[in-house]
Amino acid sequence: MKKILIVDDRTENRIMLANYFKLFSANDENKLIILQADNSAAAIDLAYSEKPDLILMDIKLESDEAGLDAARKIKQNEETKDITIWAVTAYVSLGNDAGVIHEQQLCQEAGCSEYILKPFNPAELMQKISAALNIPIPEEIVKRMNS
C-alpha cells in the first residue's frame, strides 16, 4: 500500500489533488493512503513519521519558500532522503519564462524531482502519478482521457 502526502495551505487544493489519487484506488490492489498537511511543520512531521512514497509540496506555504525549506529538511534526513517530492506551485510568470526557470532550479536544488505548475493538465498529472507509483491508470479513466 503506497502513501501519498499532499501539502498545501488551501483546503480546496488538497481535496482536488487527493481526488486524483483516489481515482487510482478503484480496486484494493492499488489502494493508496492519502495524508494531508496544511503547513511546512506538519509536512515535515508526517514525512518523518509516515515515510510516504510521494510528497506533493506546495512551495508557497507560510512564506514564499516554506515548502522548499520543508523539502530540504526532508531530503537532509537520513530516513526520509529517498522520498520523492514534487513541487506544486501556482507561480505566475507574467510573460517572463526566466522566473519559471529560476523557480524550477530552486525546486531541484531543494530536492524536488518534478515541478508541476497550477493549473495542471489532468491527463499529464495522471500519467506522472502512474509512472511514479508504478500503478496503472484505471481503464475507465484511460477511456475518458482518450475521448
Domain span at 75: 2-146
CATH value at residue 131:
3.40.50.2300
* Between residues 73 and 144, the one the model is more confident about: 73
Cell numbers that stand for 88 in this block? 506544486
Three-state secondary-structure class, residue 21:
helix
Cell numbers that stand for 68 in this block? 522548499
Put simply, whether the predicted model's pTM sits higher than 0.85 gets the answer yes
For 91, other C-beta atoms within 10 Å of its C-beta total 18
User: What's residue 144's pLDDT?
Assistant: 77
Q: Are 115 and 87 in contact (CB under 8 A)?
A: yes
Mean pLDDT throughout 15-32?
A: 80
CA separation for the pair 23, 126 (Å, rounded): 9
User: What's residue 147's pLDDT?
Assistant: 65
Number of structural domains (the chain) is 1
At 91, is the pLDDT very low, low, confident or very high (cuts 50, 70, 90)?
low
Q: Per-residue pLDDT for 30 more than 80?
A: no
∠ CA 129-131-134, nearest 5°, is 100
* Between residues 20 and 39, the one the model is more confident about: 39
At 43, is the pLDDT very low, low, confident or very high (cuts 50, 70, 90)?
very high
User: What's residue 94's pLDDT?
Assistant: 45
Q: Are 88 and 110 in contact (CB under 8 A)?
A: no
Helix axes 11-22, 122-133, angle to 10 degrees: 60
